[in-house]
Amino acid sequence: MPKRYLWIALTLAVGTVPARAETIQVIIDRLVFSPATVEAKVGDTIEWVNKDVFAHTATVKGGWEVMIPPKKSASLILKAAGPVDYFCRFHPNMKGRLVVVP
């Protein structure tokens, strides 16, 4: 294959590589989600790491809920774009926000 065609083939192949999904950590410590706001893409995984000695949740009113045991982690794969506000069902003053883009 001539170099010119090889270069075009490589350029096209690189241009069609899908973006890799990432795992984004949210640390829970002393009744706080940190960072409070996370920007992510559809397909990314949010992993909540609970450093507290009691359980928490990441709860969306009318939507999903993730139980996060004490001193453990739990995760969720983001499936839809849009802003998502969540809170801990056990500690409603704990609030977080996901800004999910396509």
Q: How far, in Å, CA of 26 to CA of 35, rounded? A: 6
What is the structure's pLDDT at 18? 59
Is the model's pLDDT at 56 over the cut of 60?
yes
Give me the mean pLDDT over the 77-97 stretch.
98
Q: CA torsion 82→64→40→87, rounded to 10°?
A: 100
The confidence score (pLDDT) of residue 64 equals: 96
Q: Could you tell me the pLDDT band of residue 20, with boundaries at 50, 70 and 90? A: confident
**pTM for this structure?**
0.81
Indicate the fold that domain 19-101 takes in CATH. Immunoglobulin-like (2.60.40)
